[in-house]
Structure formats: C-alpha cells, structure tokens
Structure 1
C-alpha cells in the first residue's frame, strides 16, 4: 500500500491510499503520524488500519501535485522531534561497480583508504544472522524535520556550499512508541542531497557536507522493502529536458548491510528512542551524477523514481543567501 499526505484545496490535511491517480481518503486520521500512533495502540499493521479506514471520498493525486499540495509522507508537528539521519558505504551498485569495488578492497587492508576499509568491513560483516549485530556502518546526521522537502518543493543549497548534488536513496520512516520501541511505518524514495565537493576535500568534512535539505516521498510504502529495487535518477534542465540520467538499484540484494543491521546501529542509542519522536533514515546509494562529472545548476530539477514507490520525487535546486553569523555574548 502507498500512503500519501496532502492538503485539500481548503488547506486541510489528509492521508490517502494511492490507487493510480486516485487518492482514496482515509477517514478519522489527518496525518500519517496519527494513523501510526493508532496502529501501535491497536497492535495492528499500518496498512491494515489504513485499509480498514478508507472511506468513499477521493482526491486526484495529479491535481494535488501540480498545485503544490503534496506533503512529505511522514512529519511531526514539531520539527525538532523529527531526526533525519543516514548511513553510507552500504551499497554494492551495478555488476560493473561491484566488480571494480571488490578489486579495490581485495588487496592489503593497510593500503586501503579509510572509506574503503569501512566498505570492506560492511561486505565482510554487514549481514549477520537474524537477531545478531553485525559491523557498524558509516553514520551521519542531516538535521531535523525542518530540512525535509516534499515532492514539488525546492531543495535549498546555501550560497557557501561548493556543490549541490543528488543522492537517490530509500529512506526508512519510523515512530518511537510510548513504550520506547521504534516502529517502522515503511519506506519512501528519497534524495539525500549533499555537497560532494566539500566532502571530497577531506572525508572528515562529511558532517558539513550532509547538513542540507533533502527530498522525501511523495508516497510511503507500507510493509516490507523488496529485496531488489530498480529506479532511475534524472537531472532536468531549466527547460525540463533531461540532461543526465542513470539507473540505480537498492534493496538488500544490492547492499552490503541488512536493513535490520542498519536499524540496530541507529536505534541502539537511547537518545533515539524517545517516545513520540519521528525518524527518517537514509540507507545509502551507489549512483551519483557527481561521479559522472555533473554539477547541477540552480533552476534545474532532480527527479528520482522507482516503480515500487509510485510517482517520482521531483525537487528543483535553489540557492539561499546566508549571512555571517555573529554570536552575541551575554
């Protein structure tokens, strides 16, 4: 089931189950968060409760999208209670990429870069037996809920950034229950969006390169993630013409870690199990336009699509002005 959050023409929030271009409106719940809280309380699956709550009212997805009324598939009324995080060096990529990567990590460990050492650790220990912890992945913090952009909204790049490049990924969407346990609502397609030039200067700049906005949605896939996910990442110029595109793959079949292992190493920390908090966690990618020498310009649009997640995630690149920040002493 694909769930979409949107607003009506009068500004009211709604959740709908996507069926083609039709949003079958779920009655009694105005947000995915409300629906998830109720599912936890009733001890039922999110899709089960959503399906049982579908009424007769409908809306057109296309109209909501064209009018800018699509919302992120999961949010929190207080953005400070939404963590946006991610893990990297988790994907094996295409067959050619895998072959090249295995050759890189197959020699003397001491001769590998720190990044390649971590990638090798994931290949060797990222898929433990069920119920066991494997090797830790690379982990990063992106921001709180204020950085999340819905499909159709611009991804804002600060003017001090050296680059604004897409990262087509799958994100896990979570709610921490009143019992302090994390509950996965499902998955969404995402554009993790990073500053790759800053990161390339020195990998210790990774933290700086990730503090950016990101695109998520438009739909939440309730249930389990397919073992193999195939999608397409595109960049369209200001005229809407495709100037770069490349296929990408995800799902555990194409990863060096299991989803369970990545989830364990995020939620093992107590501060990430605060009741009522929302988490959006990106699982990584192996496909970047930056790797092909492309630098995206303001006014161009990122497009990320995978059949399993329904309509494409589309976000235009915009540049925001920043000013020197002077700290005042008290």
Structure 2
C-alpha cells in the first residue's frame, strides 16, 4: 500500500501527516507549509517525498492524531484550484474497444467546479430538490500542481465520490453540465504513487437507519478504455488549465453503480464507500436542498 499525505492545522503551524492507511504504524508529522509543498511538487512525487525529511519531523502527539485531516494541497494565491473529470471512460461503457487504436479520440470531459466546493467525509452533499435520479460514483482522482512555468506536475492520487444527477444527463446529454453541479466529496489523503491499476470496495446506502442498497465496485486504470496518459495529456494541451500555481483534481470516471441496479437515491440517504483495497472510507449524507426563486430583475 502506498504512503499517503494529509494536512492538519495546529495553533502554531500547519503540519503534513504521512501514513500508510490501514497500518498500525504511527503517523509521522512534518513541519511543511503550503508554499514548501508546492515548490517540492515541481519535482513530482520524488520532490514531495524528498521534503519529508527527519529535520522537518516533529514529535508525534495524540493531539495531532485527533485533529481533523484535510487535503494537503492548495493552489498558489494567484491561481485556482479546479475540479473536472472524464465520463464514459471505462471499458464496460465502450465495448467496441480495439487495440491498437489509431487515432485515439479524446475522452469525454466535464467541469465540476472549484476546489473550495469539495466536501469531506462526514459532510452532507447538497443537491437540487428536483434532482431526477442521483448516482454515486466511486472514482480515482489524479492530483496535479502546475509549476512556475505552468507545467502540470503529477502529485499523486486520491479517491472520491462524484455524485451527479444521471437522470438529468439521460434526459438530454446536453444537460450534463447541470448534472455535475451536485456536491462531491474527496478523501483527505493523497497517495504518493502512480495511478492505481485497481481500486476495489463496497458501497452501502442506508435509509432510516437500515441498509437499502449494497454493491461492490471496481475502478482504476485497468478498467479504463483510455490510458491515463491519453486522458490527461489531451486535457492539459489546453493552455487555460496550464496556469502557474494551478491545482487540478481530475476524476478518471466510474463504472456501474446503484442506479444501474434499479436503486434510486433519496433525500436523507447515507452513502458509505469502503475503498477496501486502500483501507479508507468515505461517508456522506444526501441533502435535497430547495432553492429560493432568483430573477434577473
């Protein structure tokens, strides 16, 4: 299992935690701030690993272990944190796949929002009150930080739930940008490794305290129709996303889920995603949220 980093805030300084999820080994903590971590990421995974040195390590305390765990990366103050991803990216959704493929068509891409919109495990995920049919989507999420020249550097991967309104998308694919305007959650951990070939686990949905749906899932690069390099290579060919100091979370797409099994997520459901292969869980409450009437007058 690859090591993962996360961030905590203390009364005196920010710290980066380093752990192996599911291990009994104690978490190590390092005095590394946002700017130092961004600078280190300009040398990719090796640069991030290299900054977690003994001279920056601080003594382990129970207080640190009890602190809320937060995502470790921020965009530079002059840049943005963007969230986007790919759809219809899995082999199961592209049965006509042949190899080799020449030319390779671009994967279908969507924009999800900015990183401040992302939610943590334990948060409610708010969706429109008139959502047609929601779907949970356990996914691998690649993390990129752009250096001072605007070149994106791979900084590891995390895992998330790209909740969306598949019913709206199926009604009319042109509505997909609206479909994706459902809140999304990420783990606080970034795994310091190449994109995983396989991530497996189980989704459990509870309603009124009782299990209402349960099913297994699999994602990772072995499940993809495209290679990860093909997907991010085309995405980052656009200068607008290659800005100095930018942070990009890139969802690689999901396979089938509760919707495809006939289940319909309702207001008040609780979704628990057990990423068993990585010994981590992501838990969120679904909140249908009425909106006030907005006019242009």
TM-score range, shorter chain: 0.7 to 0.9
The 3 A distance-change label for structure 1 pair 236 and 6 is farther
Q: Give ranges in structure 2 of 5+ residues lacking alignment.
A: none
Q: For residue 150 of structure 1, what is the aligned residue in structure 2?
A: 120
Counterpart selection for 1:301 from 270, 287, 293: 270
Q: Is the 8 A contact 2:14 2:31 kept in 1?
A: no
Q: For residue 15 of structure 2, what is the aligned residue in structure 1?
A: 14
> Secondary structure, in 3 states, of the residue corresponding to 1:84?
strand
Structure with the higher helix share, 1 or 2: 1
Deviates more, 1:157-166 or 1:258-267: 157-166
The 3 A distance-change label for structure 1 pair 250 and 87 is same
Are 1:315 and 2:284 counterparts?
Answer: yes
Q: For residue 90 of structure 2, what is the aligned residue in structure 1?
A: 91
Q: For residue 71 of structure 1, what is the aligned residue in structure 2?
A: 70
Q: For residue 205 of structure 2, what is the aligned residue in structure 1?
A: 235
Are 1:56 and 2:56 counterparts?
Answer: no
Q: Is the 8 A contact 2:14 2:32 kept in 1?
A: no
| 1:44 positional shift | 4.0
How far apart, CA to CA, are the structure 1 residues paired with 2:108 and 2:61?
43
> Secondary structure, in 3 states, of the residue corresponding to 1:299?
coil
Are 1:27 and 2:31 counterparts?
Answer: yes
Q: Is the 8 A contact 1:72 1:217 kept in 2?
A: yes
Q: For residue 4 of structure 2, what is the aligned residue in structure 1?
A: 2
Q: Is the 8 A contact 1:85 1:141 kept in 2?
A: yes
Are 1:139 and 2:143 counterparts?
Answer: no
The normalised TM-score by structure 2 is: 0.86
Are 1:167 and 2:166 counterparts?
Answer: no
| 1:262 positional shift | 0.7
> Secondary structure, in 3 states, of the residue corresponding to 1:45?
helix
The 3 A distance-change label for structure 1 pair 265 and 201 is same
Q: Is the 8 A contact 2:152 2:242 kept in 1?
A: yes
The 3 A distance-change label for structure 1 pair 7 and 269 is same
Q: Is the 8 A contact 2:90 2:223 kept in 1?
A: yes
The normalised TM-score by structure 1 is: 0.78
| 1:290 positional shift | 1.0
Cα RMSD (Å): 2.9
Q: For residue 220 of structure 1, what is the aligned residue in structure 2?
A: 190
The 3 A distance-change label for structure 1 pair 35 and 227 is same
1:145-167: per-residue Cα shift (whole Å, max 9, x none)? 23201112111112242233211
How far apart, CA to CA, are the structure 1 residues paired with 2:76 and 2:292?
28
Counterpart selection for 1:275 from 241, 244, 257: 244
1:278-315: per-residue Cα shift (whole Å, max 9, x none)? 11110001121111121222322222232454421111
Counterpart selection for 1:189 from 144, 159, 177: 159
How far apart, CA to CA, are the structure 2 residues paired with 1:79 and 1:275?
8
Instruction: Report the number of matched residues.
Output: 291
The 3 A distance-change label for structure 1 pair 91 and 51 is farther
The 3 A distance-change label for structure 1 pair 43 and 230 is closer
How far apart, CA to CA, are the structure 2 residues paired with 1:88 and 1:272?
19
Structure 2 counterparts to residues 116-135 of structure 1, below 5 A: 120=96, 123-124=97-98, 134-135=104-105
